[in-house]
């Protein structure tokens, strides 16, 4: 089952998992298939990012953001990510992807995707920063605006030390990339 089939399954079953609330985790279950592996017979690097995308789309669909994106001509955009691999996910092994919007600051939302083996051990963690671009307004929206538009009253929590380090690294790399343009 390649990415499109996994995405279609996630979208088709979104309602059965209920609404997503900021501060909670979404859980999707996958199996490492022959189309997912590299020469080491384990989940290849790119698949982690693709499955994190599926997790994010699940959050969009279940929070109502997916519908709002279409109606208001908004565009969710990934700003960057960092991945830490701890254990391998072997061919045919089942695993869970837990996705969450951890907190936000200004126009950036911080996401976390945890890849967890059936044993409960963490195989990898992907941290992301993303924003929502308002195409008609030609600007990135403040995340508080997005939460309010979704009808929520959640407030961002303070960044933990890992999140501060991730954001600092992200800002430094973005600055370096712009300097090389």
Greater pLDDT, 3 or 74: 74
Query: In this model, does residue 1 exceed pLDDT 60?
Result: no
CA 49 to chain centre: 9
Mean pLDDT of the chain: 93
Please write the tens of the pLDDT for every residue from 101-124: 999 999 999 999 999 999 999 999
Mean pLDDT (whole number) for 146-150: 91
Mean pLDDT (whole number) for 25-53: 96
DSSP single-letter state for residue 43: B
3-state secondary structure of 133: strand
CA atoms within 13 A on the CB side of 105: 12
Please write the tens of the pLDDT for every residue from 52-72: 999 999 999 999 999 999 999
H or E element in which residue 53 lies: helix 45-63
Query: In this model, does residue 37 exceed pLDDT 90?
Result: yes
Mean pLDDT (whole number) for 137-156: 92
Query: In this model, does residue 180 exceed pLDDT 90?
Result: no
H or E element in which residue 5 lies: helix 3-12
> Pick from 83, 74, 63: which is nearest to 137 by CA?
74
Mean pLDDT (whole number) for 37-65: 95
Calpha distance 22→60 (Å, rounded): 11
Query: b/e map of 126-149 (b: 16 or more CB within 10 Å)?
Result: bbbbbbbbbeeeeebbbbeebbee
Mean pLDDT (whole number) for 72-98: 96
């Amino acid at each position: 089952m390649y990415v499109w089939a996994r995405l279609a399954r996630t979208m088709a079953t979104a309602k059965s998992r209920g609404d997503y609330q900021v501060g909670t985790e979404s859980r999707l279950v996958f199996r490492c298939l022959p189309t997912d592996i590299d020469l080491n017979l384990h989940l290849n690097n790119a698949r982690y990012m693709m499955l994190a995308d599926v997790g994010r789309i699940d959050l969009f669909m279940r929070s109502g953001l997916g519908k709002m994106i279409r109606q208001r001509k908004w565009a969710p955009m990934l700003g960057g990510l960092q991945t830490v691999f701890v254990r391998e996910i072997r061919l045919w092994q089942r695993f869970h992807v837990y996705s969450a919007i951890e907190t936000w600051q200004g126009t950036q939302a911080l996401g976390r995707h945890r890849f967890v083996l059936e044993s409960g051990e963490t195989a990898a963690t992907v941290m992301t920063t993303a924003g929502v671009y308002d195409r008609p307004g030609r600007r990135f929206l403040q995340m508080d605006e997005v939460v309010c538009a979704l009808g929520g009253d959640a407030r961002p929590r303070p960044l933990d030390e890992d999140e501060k380090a991730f954001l600092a690294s992200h800002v430094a790399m973005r600055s370096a990339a712009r300097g090389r343009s």
